[in-house]
Chains A and B, each alone.
Chain A
Amino acid sequence: EPEVTQTPSHQVTQMGQEVILRCVPISNHLYFYWYRQILGQKVEFLVSFYNNEISEKSEIFDDQFSVERPDGSNFTLKIRSTKLEDSAMYFCASSRRRLMTQPQHFGDGTRLSIL
């Protein structure tokens, strides 16, 4: 069964540094998402992306964050200047269509640790 793959599985970064998290969505999917989960807390929506632009973003997704689909297969989340509170598990997801009846398929996440 096709799956969403995320790299790296664990990223350790110094506070203030830029970090790029990478995702390869399922090949025939058109909608892409990032979520994060701070340890012990709920999964939170960050952003959705379609047709090379942001469809929707949450209050968490401020100017420090950006997303990009640099080629036909990768989808990236960049955090420009990391803060301690950015430490979390980041999940990428993709779906075939935007309507929520098309399920979002999640990757296994990248654990981001900010020192």
Chain B
Amino acid sequence: DAGVIQSPRHEVTEMGQEVTLRCKPISGHDYLFWYRQTMMRGLELLIYFNNNVPIDDSGMPEDRFSAKMPNASFSTLKIQPSEPRDSAVYFCASSPDSPYGYTFGSGTRLTVV
């Protein structure tokens, strides 16, 4: 298996633009997670899905953030409009089931200027 695949690896955009981050989980994993990592706040869970259904989005910072999982092999995290404070590394992770381990993607480094 190729692991969790995220795209793009790097994204630079101007404030106010829409940004879409993409994730392909490991086949057969029922859980998908979106995390954000910053120097100030470390790794924070934004939202997670189980069998394509959003379960907990309490970590989504604002209405500007939205996430979808239209099928078992694809998820998106969208920021509209983007702001400089959204600059961070966004990670996607998948898991077959709790209490088993999680596998993380390589992350998308987002810079909003």
Partners in one complex: no
